[in-house]
Chain A
Amino acid sequence: MTKLPYLPETPSQTAGPYVHIGLTPNALGNAGIYPQDLGISPIRDGAKGERITIRGTVTDGAGMILRDALIETWQADAEGLYPAPNEARGQADPNVTGWARVIADFDSGQWTLNTIKPGSVPHTSGGTMAPHISLWVVARGVNIGLQTRIYFEDELAANKKCPILARIEHKDRMRTLLAKKTGNGEYWFEVKLQGEDETIFFDL
């Protein structure tokens, strides 16, 4: 057998039904191990930008709402800078951590993300990505974490120019990536794992 010129990535396995034991033990009720869960908010007091609340659900192909889903979110600050050690363009807002873990409510399955609306981010090969929040969704029955993005339906002009949205062949599916505005600073976003109106998932 010839040796590969690279090491293969460690293969994924499902997060299973008990992912909260490991990633959000305090939210589960297993307090006492860590003072607080990681990723409790993507922002701190004083974060610049428009405060928004996004609510939603994760549903399966049978239309059932998942109560065991865990979503991680990653976003830029209001200027479009990432609060990351490898952000080369400048210093992001110190009150934006950019990363959060949001879990489906154990009873209703609804999740809530309180954050600021991110700015546009340049695309490496030209163009500008419209304001978006990257999502990574895991749950029992999900064999490899699913990547998707929340875009905003009220960012029409920016969405039209986004090079990632431009890659979507079936334009009628694009709406599955748009958070619906339900009020002042309030949005609704459903992740549909399968079936009609299945959310667009990325391999980026």
Chain B
Amino acid sequence: MADAPVRGPLVARDRLWHPPAYAPGYKTSVTRAPSRALVAAPSTLSEETGPAFGQDMLGELDNNLILNFTGQPAIGERIIMHGRVQDDQGRPVPGALLEIWQANAGGRYRHKKDGYAAPLDPNFGGCGRTVTNAEGRYEFLTIRPGAYPWPNGPNDWRPMHIHISVFGSGFGQRLITQMYFEGDPLIARCPIVNTIKDGSAIEQLVAPLDMSAAIPMDCLAYRFDITLRGRRQTFFENRPEGL
């Protein structure tokens, strides 16, 4: 990789910004939330290091969910999902592995446990992956996923969303989240969204429509920037070790 490796201790997570483990509005969390306090300490080499991901491991269609299952186009509203992965200082994070998964246009997942009434799309697998470039940028071509009902409260629906897994330069930065779509009235009603207490943290997960990246007569675009845990100091390979 051309980029100098990034080192240094990870900034502690703001646990009040993230959803708490126990969030009774999301019923499954009740029995799956640890009840004891986390044992907190500064990060170590075990969290500060991580495997390398390169563009060379990617197939040509890996970030194209419209075509990557059968080669025939999936049904749905064509969209670009794009953005930048950055650290807490706004510096780009190159070489980050991004993996997404989502329901099809009808709100149905290609998963043996999903028995929702909406049909499977024979040409939609529902996953894609990419690695951020030197500017920390990424792009997926996909279809807008449908909203779907789920067993929680008497009539809970998930807003349209794309699940996204992010792997930066350190194992301690590991993150899974979900991207929502600007203007979706189901966002405010969703018990999973509302596990997050701070309204401005929720806003961070709502991707705005980005007409500047839309392609006329082809597809709309949504912009989703991702911020990873920062590092307190950055060491470059050609600098001496230590402080």
Contact = CB atoms under 8 A, between A and B. Distances in A.
3 tightest Cβ-Cβ pairs between the two chains A and B: A22-B101, A141-B28, A84-B49
Contacts of A99: 50-51, 171
Contact of B26 (A14, A72, A122, A147): A14
A193 interface: yes
A38 B6 CA distance: 23
B44 A129 contact: yes
Contacts of A122: 45
Given A34-B59, A204-B44, A9 B13 contact: yes
Contacts of A132: 46
Interface stretch (A85-93, A108-116, A153-161): A85-93
B49 A13 contact: no
B142 interface: no
A152 interface: no
Interface of A: 6-23, 25, 28-30, 32-35, 38, 60-62, 64, 66, 68, 72, 74, 76, 82-88, 97-99, 106, 121-125, 129, 132, 134, 136, 138-147, 149, 164, 167-168, 173, 193-195, 198-204
Nearest to A4: B88
Contact of B23 (A6, A129, A143): A143
A193 B32 CA distance: 6
Interface string B95-116: 1010111000000011111100
Nearest to A31: B125
B163 A140 contact: no
Given A12-B18, A124-B42, A136-B171, A25 B127 contact: yes
Of the listed residues A60, A86, A97, the one surrounded by the most CB atoms of chain B closer than 10 A to its CB is A86
A168 B177 CA distance: 29
Interface in B197-243: 201-202, 204-205, 226-230, 235, 237, 241
A168 B39 CA distance: 7
A144 B21 contact: yes
A142 B21 contact: yes
B127 A11 contact: no
Given A18-B113, A25-B127, A35-B59, A88 B35 contact: no
B68 interface: yes
Contacts of A25: 125, 127
A142 to B, nearest CB: 6
Contacts of A33: 62, 68-69, 125, 127
B23 A121 contact: no
Contacts of B68: 33
Given A86-B6, A201-B39, A194 B31 contact: yes
B205 A21 contact: no
Contact of B99 (A22, A61, A164): A22
A86 B49 contact: yes
B75 interface: no
A129 B47 CA distance: 13
Interface in B46-98: 46-52, 57, 59, 62, 68-70, 86-90, 95, 97
